[in-house]
Every structure is written in structure tokens, then in C-alpha cells.
Amino acid sequence: MAWKVGAALTAALTMGIAGSLPQDPSPQRAAWRAQYRAPEAIPFPENNPYSRAKAELGRRLFFDSILSGDRTRSCVSCHQPDLAWTDGRRRALGRAGGDLEFHTPSLFNLAWQDGRFGWDGKFRDLEAVAFGPISAPNNMNLGAEEAVARLAADPDYAAAFAGAFPEPGPAVTRERIEAALATFERLIVSAPAPFDRWIAGDERAITEAAKRGFDLFNGRANCAACHSGWSFSDGSFHDVGVGRGDDIGRGRFVPTSQALRYAFKTPGLREMRGRAAFMHDGSLDSLAMVIDLYDRGGIDRPSRSREIRPLNLSAAEKADLLAFLNTLNADTTLSVAVADLPADAPKP
């Protein structure tokens, strides 16, 4: 995919000029800007191609409490469209009332993510996520077999499944529930933001402060080393110096790797207006606090990414960085997912 190639180029540029960085990095600006061009179509995997019937079924399932044991919660209980598909809490609310292990991530732009899902990569792909929350006793608390039986017993759903999956076999299966939900989730795409108008050539779309912030993001502050490309994520796992104690993230699955201790997935950075609190544990309440963390360089330890180091940003530079991040908020919160679903694979 073009934007991944772009990320590598940005990294090469940044490395090439390390040590001899000019006072004003704007000579690089044009090359950096070219890395953020918006994609032309939403990608769907070959084993789960787009169809309107599947997407509509997935949308219905996403909003329906039929998928929880006591019919009190659905995916949208935590992934709320007007909160950038998260829930406004530090950590997600468990069924028994306490906090779950992690902060609810935004669901924007997951179609562009190739790697594993979940903060610690516990899910193989997007399809594999669904029965994590559905079957977790302290979340939706519904076993896969019971979910299939419930939906099959509902004549409306049985017909919708048969329409969305014309292949022979039982209409409702676990795999079909997963495929329909993932098809809908791939439509959750951030709408064009002022930043995108600037990338497309409108110099007045964002302020000079935000442009300086963009230079910092790609240059001295090194954010683009991980928050790369149009969706601002490399889909990979890094220790940025946040987790503590037993909260070792990806390290739990790959205990032999030092670099993956305390490593969590790089989140995309669009639509952060509705997304506080931040980080996998919801430990930072504002973007200003996130910028301060990177300025300090997080917890210094052997697993910390080599891309992270104290930045010594001035107050003016922090303000510029924040101004830039705010240009990633779209003028509308509408995304393809909540519009009329198109017949053919939709455009962002």
C-alpha cells in the first residue's frame, strides 16, 4: 500500500538529516506532505469482500443488544459514534461495574490496518475481534453457540443472514457473524479534515502554527516514526514508556522479546476531539498531557523504543504540535458507516 512505502521514506528522510537538522525544517515539508495523501477506496480483504447486504447486517448486529447475555449491552455501548467510536471513560466499564483491563479504542480507519488487533495484539485480524467482547464474562457474556442459536431463532435475522451469505449451509454461523461485523467496521472511516484540504493544496486550510506543528511531528519530535501515513498508525507495537508493573502488553504473548515488553499498538490519531482519555490504560486525560509525556520521553527502560527520547520542546513548540493534532478533526462526525450504504465497495 502506498502509504506504508511513504512511511519508510519519511523515516529515511528523518534519519538522513539527524544531527544536521536545519533550524526551520520546512524544506522537507513538501516531501512529508506527499506521505499523507488520502486513499481512494476502502480496502476489503479477499476472504471477506464488501457487499451491502453484509454491511447492513453487520451494522444491525453492532447496534443490537441481542448479542449480550442479558440483552443490556451491544458494541455501541462502548464504541459510540459521537465519541469517535469510543466511550469517554478511562477504562471500559465491566458488566459487574468495575473497570475492564483496557481503555476502549476508537474504531476509525481499521480497514487500513494490516497487523493484529487489540492494544496488545491478542486478535489475529478484525474478524477475530468480535467474540472477544461478546463472550467475555465481564463484558457481553454470551457464548458463541448461544449467539448463533439466538440469531437463528429470530426469523428476521435468519432471513438477513441468508440474504447476505447466499452460499449453501446453515444461515447463521459464528464465522458469518464475524464477517458481517468486520465488513461494517471497515466502513468506519474518518471524514475529510482541514489537514486533508491542506494536503490537497489549500494553503489556508490550516494555520501557520499547525504547519509548524506538522514539521515538528515529522521532524524533531519524531512522531511520524510510528504515527505514519494517512491514518497515522504503523499498525505495530512499541513501548513509549507508559505501562507499568504486570501491564506488559504485547510482551505477554512474546515473552522472549525485550522490545515487546510494555509494547502496545500505535493508535491512529484522527478525531481525537472525542477520544479522551488517552493511551491503552486511559492514564492521560488530555492531548497536552500526551505531549508532555513524549517531551519527557516516558519511562526510560531497556524495552523503550529507540524512537523515543526526551524532546525538550518549548511551550510554543508544544502549542504548535497541539494545533497540528487539532487539524485532524473533521468538520463533520458523519462517516460512511452511518450514511446510506452503497451497493459497490464504498469510497471514504
Residue list, annotated binding site? 75, 78-79, 223, 226-227
CA dist., res. 160 & res. 176, Å (int): 11
Element housing 55 (H / E): helix 52-62
69-98 residues in contact with ligand HEC (CB under 6 A) are 73, 75, 77-79, 92-93
Residues 6+ apart with CB under 8 A from 88: 80, 274, 276
| Contact string (CB under 6 A) for ligand HEC, positions 299-338, x = contact | ------x-xx------------x-----------------
> What residues are paired with 99 via a beta bridge?
93
Known binding-site positions for heme c: 75, 78-79, 223, 226-227
Helices (H), 165-305: 174-185, 194-199, 208-218, 287-296
The count of chain residues that interact with ligand HEC, using the rule CB under 6 A, is 55
From the list 29, 37, 122, 220, which residue makes contact with ligand HEC (rule: CB under 6 A)? 122
| Contact string (CB under 6 A) for ligand HEC, positions 181-200, x = contact | x---x---------------
- CB 163 to ligand HEC: min, Å: 21
> Is residue 67 close enough to count as binding ligand HEC by CB under 6 A?
yes
- CB 139 to ligand HEC: min, Å: 5
> What residues are paired with 278 via a beta bridge?
284
CA dist., res. 230 & res. 317, Å (int): 23
Cβ atoms of 225 and 309 within 8 Å: the answer is no
From the list 32, 36, 102, 198, which residue makes contact with ligand HEC (rule: CB under 6 A)? 102
3-state secondary structure of 214: helix
Tell me the CA distances in angstroms from 277 to 87, 93, 112, 158, 347, one per residue in order: 9, 14, 23, 39, 30
Residues that bind ligand HEC (CB under 6 A): 62, 67, 73, 75, 77-79, 92-93, 100, 102, 104-105, 107, 110, 117-120, 122, 126, 129-130, 133-134, 139-140, 181, 185, 221-223, 225-227, 238, 240, 242-243, 264, 266-267, 269, 275, 278-280, 287, 290-291, 294, 305, 307-308, 321
